[in-house]
A and B are shown apart, each in its own frame.
Chain A
Amino acid sequence: MPPVTYKLRIVLSLVLPTFNEAANIRSLVESIDGVLQSMPHEIIIVDDDSPDETWKVAMSLALHLPAVRVIRREGKRGLSSAVIDGFNVARGTVLAVMDADGQHDPILLLKMLKLIEADADLVIGSRYIEGGSIGDWVGDRRILSRAGTLLARNLSRAPVTDPLAGFFMLKADLFREIRHSLKPAGFKILLEILSHLPASARISEVPLVFRMRLHGRSKLSFKVNMEFLGQVLRLSFRRLLSLGPLVFFAACLAVVLILAPKAWVLRRIYYDLKYRNNVESAILTAAKREGWLVSDIELKSLSDTEVSFIHREHLRYSDGAEACLLSIEKKSLICAGL
């Protein structure tokens, strides 16, 4: 009889999106595995077919670390979509993502998990709360990051200090709830998630001290910045869509405010048949006398004895118009050019 094996339910699925991180991935995965050894977990490395063959290093790691799974994406690029692909195949009840360049401290994973267990739906490793820091970034990157963060804060459905963080954890159920709305483009997947969160989602932040990358070069480029701008614009437009009901009712109210006074002024011709016939007869008599087309007459107001209207010639180049006062009984007419 073969030995009975019990598979423990995986608690945490950590996704590591990689591109040219061959020099960093081994030490990072080993240190994560060490931190998470007390709980059932998996580490999903999603590699965009790195020229430095990060995927090969990852696969060799998977041979002796059973928690490691590797996805090699050929013909597909982008950090956000890599994270989503990783989340889609994850088996854990909690999902997390962190940078694969060693700038995020794996120790924080335990702290984040505790907050999830304490009923948070999403936990962010924030560089901008007390105890967190952006480390030794040079001036221009510091300014760019700050400006980007300020822009992004307005797009998040919940008040968070670091909506552009690359280190966060969320419940798998929450991800499944919103995943069809996500448009994974660019680098900032957390911002995408934050802008689609249900209002009831509970968010916590833990301080994150950004560390220096272990090896290799930063992926921040002009293209990445443009992609971020594109994402901000798209999400801003989506935000604008949320103002839809307000815009609709404002438009309807404007129509009412424009039309209602005019309809009120003309109301008598709709309920007083005799009065309407008198008005009609006076207008037709005046129109015949002047040679006017009835369609060139625009009623402005009515009283017991007089009709005021505007007569327009409806000409192409010089549209002459005159304001007229017509006596209903005497059918006398006074007009003045406008």
Chain B
Amino acid sequence: MRWTLKNIVLLELYALLLVLLVMPGGVKTDEAKYLLSIPYPHPPVIRQILSAMKSFPYQEFLARLIFSSIVVQSVWFIRDLGVVLSRPRRAALVSGWLFSAAVILQSGTVMLTTLTAVFGLIFLWLAMTPSEPDQSTSPFIGLLWLFGLFSAFQTVLYFPLVWSAQVSARASRTKALIYVGVPILLLGLYSLTNPLVPASILKLSGQGSALPASLRFQNAGWIWLIAGSGVGSLIGSWGLIIGGRRDLQLSALVLGVYFFISSAQYYAILFTPLLIGGVFILLRQRKIFPALFISLQAVTAVILTVLFLPPFQVSDARKVMEKLRARGSAGLILIDGVFGHEWQYESRVPVRRYSPELSSDVEDLAGAIVCTKKTCEEQIDTEKWVRIENQPMEVWVRR
């Protein structure tokens, strides 16, 4: 008991460290979307929970710590999976998760991919551990699947694992079909209630497919490398290939196609649970030296973390909004040019888009204009507006 408690505390400290690693970068546009519960592209469950905390002064830190803790503490599922292995091999399996560059880089972010990966890990655990033959877990796997799907669309990429988990819970084919299929249908129904969802999915896939195939291959390669810190990627993939587990192979294939289309590096963590499955298979079947695996994994994790860690600098949105607050600027903030939701998150007053079509009534209510494009000087009436110096971009306030 004392040993377990000690490990929980150590893992929590590790989770905190991972938060501190990414926090100085400030809130990113996707994170702001979830923290403010902006209704796209993902379904509402997690973002609603997060937005319930949006009046908390330390919402960002709290959300990061919760996400990081969930990801790090989910290592207990891996420990349970590895209960059939010797202690050193189990340690190697556990390190496959904790020293995955994807886990290190992404645990402290408020991105739904991290929680989706945890869902994937739980489904992997359910699929690979034998359960009681009384089928009682089957509907609960269905509920978890429903919860996962309504948290993030990408959960659907794990459907082969969920099917396998149902089979492992001894559900009949019909029941498995209901417990797997009905939540997917309900997700389809949700998409119909929010036209932004299909629109944003189409937009995202369009962005990915605009890249040349060679670049997309390269990105998919980096995603694979980050997912298992190189060593885990190799060993895990080898295990996936020789293990003969169709559920894992099919999920890996689906994810591979998804990475190729979307090309975003933060999806790497989605692949980590599958690599863990592969490492587990190989640790059971082949002579792997656990100490060597752990050491190499740790070294490659450090190298990849250094390579891909976002810069430790305060975001432009935070700098500008802090400056405007310090000046006591009142009224709306108009932004001209491309901007993300982090501007909304950092602002205490409504943020609007500045364009030639903007009504003069709205413009009259504005207290500041921020220009994220090269320059806005030509559009600005300098009789009414004055520029603040020493800002990362043009910022105009009322005279």
Q: Tell me, in angstroms, the Cα distance from A289 to B332 when the chains sit together.
A: 14
Q: Tell me, in angstroms, the Cα distance from A147 to B274 when the chains sit together.
A: 50
Q: Tell me, in angstroms, the Cα distance from A320 to B347 when the chains sit together.
A: 13
Q: Tell me, in angstroms, the Cα distance from A238 to B35 when the chains sit together.
A: 36
Binary B-proximity of A286-309 (CB < 8 A = 1, otherwise 0): 011111111110110000000000
Residues of chain A within 8 A (CB-CB) of B357 are 285, 288-289
| Contact among B183, B186, B345, B355 for A291, CB-based, below 8 A | B355
Is the pair A266, B192 in contact by a Cβ cutoff of 8 Å? yes
Identify the closest chain A residue to B352 (Cβ).
A291
Residues of chain A within 8 A (CB-CB) of B350 are 313, 315, 320
Within 8 A of B (CB), among A252-283: 252, 255-256, 259-260, 262-263, 266-267, 269-270
- Decide yes or no: A244 and B136 within 8 Å by CB, A251-B143, A289-B359 being known contacts: yes
Residues of chain B within 8 A (CB-CB) of A241 are 136-137, 140
Is the pair B179, A259 in contact by a Cβ cutoff of 8 Å? no
Identify the closest chain A residue to B346 (Cβ).
A316
Is the pair A256, B358 in contact by a Cβ cutoff of 8 Å? no
| Contact among A260, A294, A317 for B348, CB-based, below 8 A | A317
- For residue A233, CB closer than 8 A to chain B, the reply is no
Is the pair B353, A247 in contact by a Cβ cutoff of 8 Å? no
Residues of chain A within 8 A (CB-CB) of B40 are 295
A7 to chain B, nearest CB (A): 34
Tally of contact residues, A, Cβ under 8 A:
41
- Decide yes or no: A314 and B38 within 8 Å by CB, A181-B134, A248-B143, A288-B355 being known contacts: yes
Identify the closest chain B residue to A298 (Cβ).
B39
Q: Tell me, in angstroms, the Cα distance from A317 to B341 when the chains sit together.
A: 15
- For residue A319, CB closer than 8 A to chain B, the reply is yes
Q: Tell me, in angstroms, the Cα distance from A181 to B341 when the chains sit together.
A: 52
- Decide yes or no: A315 and B348 within 8 Å by CB, A255-B186, A289-B359, A291-B334 being known contacts: yes
Residues of chain A within 8 A (CB-CB) of B353 are 287-288, 291-293
Q: Tell me, in angstroms, the Cα distance from A198 to B205 when the chains sit together.
A: 52
Is the pair B195, A242 in contact by a Cβ cutoff of 8 Å? no
- For residue A245, CB closer than 8 A to chain B, the reply is yes
Is the pair A252, B38 in contact by a Cβ cutoff of 8 Å? no
Tally of contact residues, B, Cβ under 8 A:
51
Within 8 A of B (CB), among A310-335: 313-317, 319-320
- For residue B74, CB closer than 8 A to chain A, the reply is no
Binary A-proximity of B320-357 (CB < 8 A = 1, otherwise 0): 00000000000010100000010011011111111101
Identify the closest chain A residue to B134 (Cβ).
A181
- For residue B148, CB closer than 8 A to chain A, the reply is no
Is the pair A317, B55 in contact by a Cβ cutoff of 8 Å? yes
Residues of chain A within 8 A (CB-CB) of B355 are 288, 291
- Decide yes or no: A269 and B186 within 8 Å by CB, A316-B54, A317-B348 being known contacts: no
Most buried by B among A247, A260, A295, A298: A295
| Contact among A242, A248, A260, A295 for B179, CB-based, below 8 A | A248
Residues of chain B within 8 A (CB-CB) of A296 are 38
B301 to chain A, nearest CB (A): 34
| Contact among B143, B196, B349, B352 for A247, CB-based, below 8 A | B143
Q: Tell me, in angstroms, the Cα distance from A260 to B189 when the chains sit together.
A: 7
Residues of chain A within 8 A (CB-CB) of B190 are 255, 259
Is the pair A295, B354 in contact by a Cβ cutoff of 8 Å? no
Q: Tell me, in angstroms, the Cα distance from A90 to B183 when the chains sit together.
A: 48
Identify the closest chain B residue to A296 (Cβ).
B38
- For residue B139, CB closer than 8 A to chain A, the reply is yes
Residues of chain A within 8 A (CB-CB) of B265 are none
Is the pair B139, A245 in contact by a Cβ cutoff of 8 Å? yes
- For residue B213, CB closer than 8 A to chain A, the reply is no
Binary B-proximity of A195-222 (CB < 8 A = 1, otherwise 0): 0000000000000000000000000000
Within 8 A of A (CB), among B31-53: 33, 35-40
Q: Tell me, in angstroms, the Cα distance from A73 to B34 when the chains sit together.
A: 57
A309 to chain B, nearest CB (A): 11
B53 to chain A, nearest CB (A): 10
Binary B-proximity of A213-249 (CB < 8 A = 1, otherwise 0): 0000000000000000000000000100110110110
A324 to chain B, nearest CB (A): 14
B68 to chain A, nearest CB (A): 21
Residues of chain A within 8 A (CB-CB) of B354 are 291
Identify the closest chain A residue to B366 (Cβ).
A291
Is the pair A315, B344 in contact by a Cβ cutoff of 8 Å? yes
Residues of chain B within 8 A (CB-CB) of A252 are 146, 182-183, 186
Is the pair A269, B195 in contact by a Cβ cutoff of 8 Å? yes
Q: Tell me, in angstroms, the Cα distance from A293 to B345 when the chains sit together.
A: 14
Q: Tell me, in angstroms, the Cα distance from A255 to B193 when the chains sit together.
A: 12
Is the pair B139, A244 in contact by a Cβ cutoff of 8 Å? yes
- Decide yes or no: A316 and B348 within 8 Å by CB, A288-B357, A291-B334 being known contacts: yes
Is the pair A247, B139 in contact by a Cβ cutoff of 8 Å? yes
Is the pair A291, B362 in contact by a Cβ cutoff of 8 Å? yes
Is the pair B143, A262 in contact by a Cβ cutoff of 8 Å? no
B9 to chain A, nearest CB (A): 26
Identify the closest chain A residue to B59 (Cβ).
A316
B185 to chain A, nearest CB (A): 9
| Contact among A255, A288, A314, A319 for B358, CB-based, below 8 A | A288
Residues of chain A within 8 A (CB-CB) of B358 are 288-291
Is the pair B344, A314 in contact by a Cβ cutoff of 8 Å? yes
Residues of chain A within 8 A (CB-CB) of B186 are 252, 255-256, 259
Residues of chain B within 8 A (CB-CB) of A266 are 192-193, 195
Most buried by B among A245, A289, A291, A292: A291
Identify the closest chain A residue to B183 (Cβ).
A252
| Contact among B341, B349, B352 for A292, CB-based, below 8 A | B352
Binary A-proximity of B117-155 (CB < 8 A = 1, otherwise 0): 000000000000000111011111011001000100000
Is the pair A259, B193 in contact by a Cβ cutoff of 8 Å? yes
Identify the closest chain B residue to A285 (Cβ).
B357
Is the pair A315, B55 in contact by a Cβ cutoff of 8 Å? no
Q: Tell me, in angstroms, the Cα distance from A245 to B138 when the chains sit together.
A: 8
Residues of chain A within 8 A (CB-CB) of B341 are 295, 314
Can you name 11 A-B pairs with beta carbons within 8 Å? A241-B140, A247-B140, A255-B186, A288-B353, A289-B362, A293-B344, A293-B351, A296-B38, A316-B55, A316-B59, A319-B54
Known pairs A247-B139, A295-B39 / 9 extra A-B pairs, C-beta < 8 Å: A251-B146, A255-B190, A260-B189, A267-B192, A291-B354, A293-B344, A298-B39, A299-B195, A314-B36
Which residues of chain A have a CB within 8 Å of any CB of chain B? Answer: 180-181, 238, 241-242, 244-245, 247-248, 251-252, 255-256, 259-260, 262-263, 266-267, 269-270, 285, 287-296, 298-299, 313-317, 319-320
Q: Which 8 A-B pairs have the closest CB atoms?
A: A291-B352, A244-B139, A241-B136, A248-B139, A288-B357, A263-B192, A262-B193, A314-B36
